[in-house]
Structure 1
């Protein structure tokens, strides 16, 4: 993206300058339009919140009900309406502080920069036009004197000595005037050519500044609208689909693509007016009817040469995004179609495990894989309960965690245990039931969803106690140790010594070694160090693999670009 504007926006006249400055003003008007949109949206949210709060206080729903569950339900309806109004009040305030105010400051700063740039270029263009007009007048004056001298010399041929002498006196006087006009013309031509070099440098700097401010505008508006979408989506689940459409459109926004397409469609060329040639009529030079043009060579601009020398001495690498910023761009919600495909694949793998597990005899493991894929059908620790509770409470208010949940659609079927009594149970997936309720026109009550999750966990725990009363399962601090960790403490590992199944009995797809160290930023991820060996249990299409660290015995999601196959 180096020098795209300065390479493509030159013109023999001032049309390129006027066009780019007009495009800059259009960008400022775009920022003002977004500000007006935010202001109207905040007014709508405040009015909506005000009417909701008034509605909850104005109408006493349980007034005519003395007691009973209906009265309690009506009271809850009034309380939730009040809470909904307060939530929209909070959203309006957050839009003002996190979206509207920053954009207001940016728009004001952009306008100030534009005024300074426009003022300097306007003065320079005015001076350039004045010099052009002066050069043209001086040329015409010099040409007129030269025509008169030639006419007098032609007439002298037909005159007698007396008249020829008088004519020669006039010619000598005109020659002095022509010499003075010639010197004035030459001086103005030199001054104009020097001014042309100054204009070339100044317009190059202006093009660089305009491109930089255009990039800044696109990136700022992208981040600002993204923040707006996050605020709106955190208020109501029903608005999530429209906010997802906004995110998908913003993902395709790139200041690089925008500027490149803009240049390809509206570029004015790479030519400018060439320096004015001195026309020496005394030597028989003939003036050109039209002014010449030249192709702009950026290497001839002194400022470009200085920048190249500075970059040659010291090259500063571009800033890299932080790990949190990269996750926010990478972890995007998956579609319901992907959810069903991965769930069917996991159910097929689980059925294969049951068929092979019936032919082998082994002790049930007391170490459970505590990750997003675990079902919680065995014993659960307090840490696991805290994790599920925090997950339920934050999934629909935090778009990032919502993306993480959508990335693991096989949670209910990935790690099903074998039934030692030969009975197959099909537990109800609360999340799947919640989604089905929404598709059938239900309201997807989140309180029922959390209650069903809790009831499902309790029923699974009771069934496990009935099926296997003689077995006790425990987990210390939600950390399990792999049975093979004690045999892999050397630096070099023999493939024959690597286990073919995980500590929970699931088949290993392949083995990978960590190229870099990675620290988990959320609870569902797996931390590992450089050169650790990981057993890959499931490969997701988004690049996050479910793995078990042989050295530590922990399991979770690991980024595939940190791993290399063994």
Structure 2
């Protein structure tokens, strides 16, 4: 590529593109080079799916039983904790939808750039095909022109070489053949010149369109970088806002925990579960044979009653009862079992 062509470029970026196109001579590779950074960005969509999955898992967790056996202030704090966990899950679900909306905006922007780029590509492709066709025709006419020139020179040399040895009729034929070769060379020269001129015009149009395409692509690249930068900035702001929202919701739980009173919870449990103000009455010993049952008062310092054995009664004995009575033997314990 010559220096005059490079002057048409407004930046070194254009010169690199022209150089690349000149080397490969393939417009498809040029568009591939320019469109490489415009591939679809799926980061926001993936992050939205992660947020949605986390929100659903968190929402399911908030529905599970937590602290059902607790009571009073601690139970209220745990209820607030479950409620705020549900609110956090809903905020993450809303964040996921917001991210999907941002991803949709980015996708729409990408489609708009794709359509605008497609129009430029079609124009460039048409000019490139026209230039390639004219270049091929020019090379063929050049080849024909060179061959006709060689035929003309050969005819002239043949006529000059045989001028002294040939008769008039032969010289006339040589002269006619030389004139015909000369006319053919002139026709080929004019055709070659016309093709070169046409190729120059097409090449000029192609280069101008190439510069316009580079300007369009540079503008698109500026818009793309700016849009992507703003999208990432917005994305980070959304994540930061989610952290703030979650902290505000968790702050409500912390406030509830500050009102959690351990002593009140214990007193509440005692008042709720107690069975009375006094312990149950002790179980006293009751002698079956006693005619008078005197209860034994429990000791003041000892909750367990002390049971004492009273003297056994002295029933009237008969001769037949001696075998079963223990009254005659005070050292033996009372028993009704016969040995």
The TM-score, its normalising length taken from structure 2, stands at: 0.64
What stretches of structure 1 of length at least 5 have no aligned partner? 238-393, 398-444, 452-566
- Conserved 8 A contact 1:42-1:95: yes
> Do residues 64 (structure 1) and 64 (structure 2) align?
no
Deviation at 1:220, TM superposition (A): 0.5
| Aligned positions, number | 241
Deviation at 1:225, TM superposition (A): 1.0
Task: Give matches, 1:486-497, under 5 Å.
Answer: none
- Map of 2:127 onto structure 1: 124
**Aligned mate of 1:182, from 186, 189, 196:** 189
> Do residues 24 (structure 1) and 51 (structure 2) align?
no
Deviation at 1:155, TM superposition (A): 2.1
- Map of 1:191 onto structure 2: 198
- Map of 2:6 onto structure 1: none
- Conserved 8 A contact 2:38-2:110: yes
In structure 1, what is the Cα distance between the partners aligned to 2:113 and 2:209? Answer: 20
In structure 2, what is the Cα distance between the partners aligned to 1:46 and 1:87? Answer: 10
In structure 2, what is the Cα distance between the partners aligned to 1:15 and 1:137? Answer: 19
Deviation at 1:18, TM superposition (A): 4.9
> Do residues 5 (structure 1) and 9 (structure 2) align?
no
| DSSP-derived class of the 1:168 partner | helix
- Map of 1:202 onto structure 2: 209
Deviation at 1:7, TM superposition (A): 4.5
Moved over 6 A (4+): 394-397, 448-451
In structure 2, what is the Cα distance between the partners aligned to 1:91 and 1:395? Answer: 12
**Aligned mate of 2:47, from 29, 41, 50:** 41
Cα distance 1:81–1:449, how it changes in 2: closer, same or farther (>3 A)?
closer
- Map of 2:221 onto structure 1: 214
In structure 1, what is the Cα distance between the partners aligned to 2:255 and 2:211? Answer: 62
- Map of 1:228 onto structure 2: 235
Cα distance 1:199–1:148, how it changes in 2: closer, same or farther (>3 A)?
same
- Conserved 8 A contact 1:45-1:92: yes
Cα distance 1:138–1:202, how it changes in 2: closer, same or farther (>3 A)?
same
In structure 2, what is the Cα distance between the partners aligned to 1:15 and 1:142? Answer: 26
- Map of 2:58 onto structure 1: 52
- Conserved 8 A contact 1:10-1:16: no
Cα distance 1:16–1:145, how it changes in 2: closer, same or farther (>3 A)?
closer
**Aligned mate of 2:86, from 82, 88, 109:** 82
| DSSP-derived class of the 1:234 partner | helix
In structure 1, what is the Cα distance between the partners aligned to 2:188 and 2:54? Answer: 79
Query: Per-residue displacement from partner, 1:383-414 (whole Å, max 9, x unpaired)?
Result: xxxxxxxxxxx9978xxxxxxxxxxxxxxxxx
- Map of 1:100 onto structure 2: 103
Query: Per-residue displacement from partner, 1:453-476 (whole Å, max 9, x unpaired)?
Result: xxxxxxxxxxxxxxxxxxxxxxxx
Deviation at 1:118, TM superposition (A): 0.7
Deviation at 1:154, TM superposition (A): 1.7
In structure 1, what is the Cα distance between the partners aligned to 2:255 and 2:188? Answer: 95
Cα RMSD between the aligned structures? 2.7
> Do residues 167 (structure 1) and 171 (structure 2) align?
no
Deviation at 1:138, TM superposition (A): 0.7
Q: Which structure dedicates a bigger proportion of its chain to strand?
A: 1
- Which structure has the bigger radius of gyration? 2
- Map of 1:109 onto structure 2: 112
- Conserved 8 A contact 2:81-2:253: no
The TM-score, its normalising length taken from structure 1, stands at: 0.40
- Conserved 8 A contact 1:3-1:208: no
Cα distance 1:446–1:77, how it changes in 2: closer, same or farther (>3 A)?
closer
Cα distance 1:216–1:450, how it changes in 2: closer, same or farther (>3 A)?
farther
Query: Per-residue displacement from partner, 1:260-294 (whole Å, max 9, x unpaired)?
Result: xxxxxxxxxxxxxxxxxxxxxxxxxxxxxxxxxxx
In structure 2, what is the Cα distance between the partners aligned to 1:214 and 1:165? Answer: 72
Deviation at 1:152, TM superposition (A): 2.1
In structure 1, what is the Cα distance between the partners aligned to 2:86 and 2:133? Answer: 70
Cα distance 1:78–1:448, how it changes in 2: closer, same or farther (>3 A)?
closer
In structure 2, what is the Cα distance between the partners aligned to 1:23 and 1:208? Answer: 15
Cα distance 1:17–1:211, how it changes in 2: closer, same or farther (>3 A)?
farther
